[in-house]
Structure 1
Amino acid sequence: MAGRYILMGDIVGSSTYKASKLRREFKQIVSSCNKTFEREILSPYTITLGDEFQGVTRSLRGLFDAVFYLEEISLLKRLKFKMRYAGLHGEIDTPINRMKAHGMMGAGLTRAREMLTAKRRGKPRFQFELPNAQMTKELNLLFLAIDGIIAKWDPDDGPLILDMIANNNNVAVGKKHKKNRTQIWKRRKNMLIEEFRALKEVVLDLAK
């Protein structure tokens, strides 16, 4: 049985948020991810429990595109919650459900859930497991650094952060957010925006 790229995720500390608002926001970003990457998805990201989702992608690049998208759209919407992710290449024994990620079974899905739900002190927010052990190590280390940067960001600065990631022009970003070029330069430096962009570029290059 051929391996598939599986992505699962859940909300960190979901019980500490208002359930109805959390469910609505979670559903919105998962749905948006499905629409954005429709061509890259074999089985759409589906909320399996109130605070968990799973899906199957066509490629490793598609898996990482989804992870970055979910992180970045959460910033855009100034969402307060964070998500954990478990991504791997593993077997699915049953036919791929093209409508929703339900009713499938296999060692890959079982392993992804084990990774996501394992309770251990200091467990990384991003975990990946691939056939190539060296690539697995490199990607997990890269995401450890990425998460360290994201952890320093204030969700209320989300739209500004995304604009700095997307646009190198401090003057243009400043005009949009009513700040001068020097203020944007300082924010870019203090928030490690260029470091984030570099790490993201390396991840996506590895996934080609």
Structure 2
Amino acid sequence: MVYSVITLTGAGTMNHLVMIADVIGSRQLANRGQLQTLLEAELRTLHKESTGLASPYTITLGDEFQAVFRDADRVFPDILAILRALHPVGLRFALGIGSITTRINPEQAIGMDGPAFYQARDLLERMKKDRRILAVAGLPEDDGLQESALGLLDHQLRKWRPNRLDILRLLLQGWEAGTIADHLDITEQSVYKNIREGGLEHAIQLTRALTGRMNNALARTD
């Protein structure tokens, strides 16, 4: 299973979003080597689309990886892509926004420090105890709404099959149902069935609202 953390904070400089992710129970997996190969391949694919990335996806401890983002626009599509690539292995994503006090490393997401990393790491450790697979720290509008929304999304992500993860990811990227059907080699009827049965229209509204909140936090300077 994979844990991932994103943390949000502000410290008078430009904020960044840090993701830290970890494969849950990876040492007990019989196919650990194959899993790592799949993870490396997916992260390379995501790195090719560099929009929004300040520091690329980097595997740090064999089964842990992290990245730094300038904005949150691609975060949820990326999470869905990684979940899809490693399915049925579980993933946990912790997200945090805040300042980074060292120089940004554009080559690898290592050798950096600051509140964004602290929040992400602390959140990841808490997630290991409370079994969440998706969480955000550091949003200023901490009215409880995002926790409820993330809880609902967390619940759905645990149950969805690979095709549904792909369909939601592509919908978030603006694809039409017919194009998705051709890309996934399924019928358009199957796409609409997944949208209906998975409540994907609501999931899109939820993820876009959360993305907006994260981008607002990234734009703040304190």
Which residues of 2 match residues 36-47 of structure 1 at below 5 A? 36=49, 38-47=50-59
Structure with more of its chain in helix, by fraction: 1
Using the TM superposition, give the Cα deviation of residue 22 of structure 1 relative to its aligned residue in structure 2, in angstroms.
0.9
CA contact (8 A) 1:30 1:70 kept: no
TM-score, normalization: structure 2?
Answer: 0.73
Matched, 1:12 2:19: no
Task: Map 1:7-156 to 2 at 5 A.
Answer: 7-17=19-29, 18-36=31-49, 38-59=50-71, 61-62=72-73, 65-72=74-81, 74-75=83-84, 77=85, 79-118=87-126, 121-134=129-142, 137-155=144-162
Please give the alpha-carbon distance, in whole angstroms, between the structure 2 residues aligned to 1:176 and 1:101.
32
Cα distance per residue 1:176-203 (max 9 Å; x no partner):
756584x655443322232322322322
Aligned-partner Cα distance in 1 for 2:184–2:118: 46
Distance in 1 (CA, whole Å) between partners of 2:58 and 2:136 is 19
- Amino acid in the other structure paired with 2:22: D
Task: State how far apart, in whole Å, the 2-side matches of 1:127 and 1:86 are.
Answer: 5
Higher RCO structure, 1 or 2 (CA under 8 Å, sep 6+)? 2
| Structure 2 alignment gaps of length 5 or more | 1-10, 216-222
Look up the equivalent residue of 1:10 and give its one-letter code.
Answer: D
Computing the radius of gyration from Cα coordinates, the structure with the larger value is: 1
* CA distance in structure 1 between the partners assigned to 2:52 and 2:168 by the alignment: 26
Q: C-alpha deviations, 1:135-161, integer Å up to 9, x for none?
A: 6x3333222211222222123665566
Task: Indicate conservation of the 8 Å contact 2:139/2:214, yes or no.
Answer: no
Query: Structure 1: which amino acid aligns with 2:80?
Result: E
Letter in 2 for 1:200: T
CA RMSD, 1 decimal:
3.2
Secondary structure at 2:142 match in 1: helix
Identity of aligned pairs, percent?
20
Helix, strand or coil at the partner of 2:93: strand
Residues 78 and 159 of structure 1 are in contact (CA less than 8 Å); yes or no, is this contact kept in structure 2?
A: no
